[in-house]
Amino acid sequence: MQVMVIGAGLAGSEAAWQLAQRGICVRLCEMKPEKKIPAHESEYFAELCCSNSLRSDQLENAVGLLKEELRRLDSLILRCADATRVPAGGALAVDRRGFAKMVTEAVCSHPNIEVVPGEVTEIPEGEVLIATGPLTSDAFAEKLLDLLGRENTTLNFFDAAAPLISFESVDMDSAYFASRYDKGTPDYINCPMEKDEYLAFWKALTEAEEAPVHGFEDGQVFEGCMPVEVMARRGEDTLRYGPLKPRGLKDPKTGRESYAVVQLRKDNADGSIYNLVGFQTHLKWPEQKRVFTMIPALKNAQFLRYGVMHRNTYLDSPRLLDRYYRLKTQPRLAFAGQMTGVEGYVESCASGFLAGVEMARRLKGQPPLDFPRETAIGALGLYVSNESVGAFQPMNINFGIIPPLDHRVKGKRNKNAELSARSLQIIDQMREEVLT
């Protein structure tokens, strides 16, 4: 029994690992390092092109629940993320390069996985799991269109990545380490701005020149990864209620909250690289330097990588895929990752996990594992395959797609904690069968 997995991003690496762990021989095809696209920087698998954060690690948050489900079910991606985490308060952030290197080494050393470098331009015969991601090459995308039909099949939105700067270039006389409301360890560098500084920065941001992106309009961006300049154009105070929110951050020099605060999060274990939290952008590179150095603590910032924007392509999955991410018309073909319409690193991993597990079970003559809607893994797969969904849009995991409790609980955090406890009880009951 052999499966070809195309693409070694988060979803493809996870799917290949789950198949191999169940005794299935895997040919993992990855076009890097022979061919890269602009968003790629390293030669490693599972490269994190946007943020280095996998978002909240708290069980009162749906993505925190999804992480814990995957941990308990032996996810390779979560194991590597936990092993390479960097301080980020209540979030799970990783050393970007160390994480990708660890995933690559694990996948390449597995006895049941053969890595085949080079671009795939045809859809192979046999069992195939396609995880080419939202940045699928033009040649392969054309073949998918031929297979799936060109009308009402593929959709796209635009996604952006934040700049990276060196720690040594941050003016720490103007900045300070702290976590919001002093919760957890002081893992973020906070760059305060007074009203006049903020207003000058906001005006410059709204007027800055953007890099040309074919077909881009503000309405085509994914809300969860919106360019900071697009957000700024929505109003003078939009940023102050979003990524520049000062609430819960008291400047130790003044003893009060500033008018706005830009936060920097550690991007590698050494703490030599930081990213600008919430500063996804597609401004021209000279404009990024001009505008972002108006932030007082970043007046001498050394940019190690400027923000970039790219097109994300995803399938009209409710019309095409089942709850296991298999193509309804050809179950030998499965899809995984952001191209299915799941949005986010952990969600991509979860789709690869489920697609890989189910393909292995089908090949071994075992019945499918139906993760119920009460679990985050199950809820995500059922959302993506829900034919009643009209205008399909990419979706982060959230408690809104998980059935409510059968009793009232006071307080949102308490309610979410009970939803997570219910889910994890189900996962623990399923665990032995999943891992067998």
Q: Is the pLDDT of residue 340 over 80?
A: yes
Q: Is the pLDDT of residue 213 over 90?
A: no
Q: Are 306 and 155 in contact (CB under 8 A)?
A: no
Contacts of 270 (CB under 8 A, 6+ apart): 95
Predicted pLDDT of residue 79? 98
342 and 389 inside one domain: yes
90 and 123 inside one domain: yes
Q: Which of 276, 307, 338 is the last residue of a domain?
A: 307
257 and 201 inside one domain: yes
**To 5 degrees, how large is the angle CA 324–CA 422–CA 411?**
120
192 and 327 inside one domain: no
- Name the token pair of 326: 């298999």
147 and 207 inside one domain: no
Q: Which of 307, 336, 359 is the last residue of a domain?
A: 307
Annotated binding site for FAD: 7-12
Q: Give the pLDDT confidence of 169-203 residue by residue, as tens digits.
A: 999 999 999 988 787 789 999 999 999 999 999 99
- Which pLDDT band holds residue 97 (cuts at 50, 70, 90)? very high
Q: Is the pLDDT of residue 351 over 50?
A: yes
Give bridge partners of residue 91 from the DSSP assignment.
56
Rounded Cα distance between 93 and 87, Å, is 7
Predicted pLDDT of residue 215? 47
Q: The CATH number of the domain where 396 resides is what?
A: 3.50.50.60
Annotated binding site: 7-12
In 104-184 the beta strands, taken as DSSP E runs, fall at 113-117, 127-130, 154-160, 164-166, 176-178
- Name the token pair of 279: 């500063």
**Mean per-residue pLDDT of the chain:** 91
- Who has greater pLDDT, 307 or 10? 10
26 and 150 inside one domain: yes
Q: Give the pLDDT confidence of 252-284 residue by residue, as tens digits.
A: 999 999 999 999 999 988 898 999 999 989 899
Q: Is the pLDDT of residue 39 over 60?
A: no
Determine the average pLDDT of the residues in 390-395: 76
259 and 148 inside one domain: no
Contacts of 325 (CB under 8 A, 6+ apart): 334, 335, 336, 340, 351, 354, 355, 358, 381, 384, 385
181 and 129 inside one domain: no
- Name the token pair of 357: 């597990």
Rounded Cα distance between 72 and 375, Å, is 13
Domain count, the chain: 2
Predicted pLDDT of residue 138? 79
68 and 208 inside one domain: no
Predicted pLDDT of residue 37? 59
Q: Give the pLDDT confidence of 106-121 residue by residue, as tens digits.
A: 999 999 999 999 999 9
Q: Which of 307, 323, 340 is the last residue of a domain?
A: 307
355 and 396 inside one domain: yes
Q: The CATH number of the domain where 268 resides is what?
A: 2.40.30.260
Range of the domain at 354: 2-156+313-435
251 and 317 inside one domain: no
11 and 139 inside one domain: yes
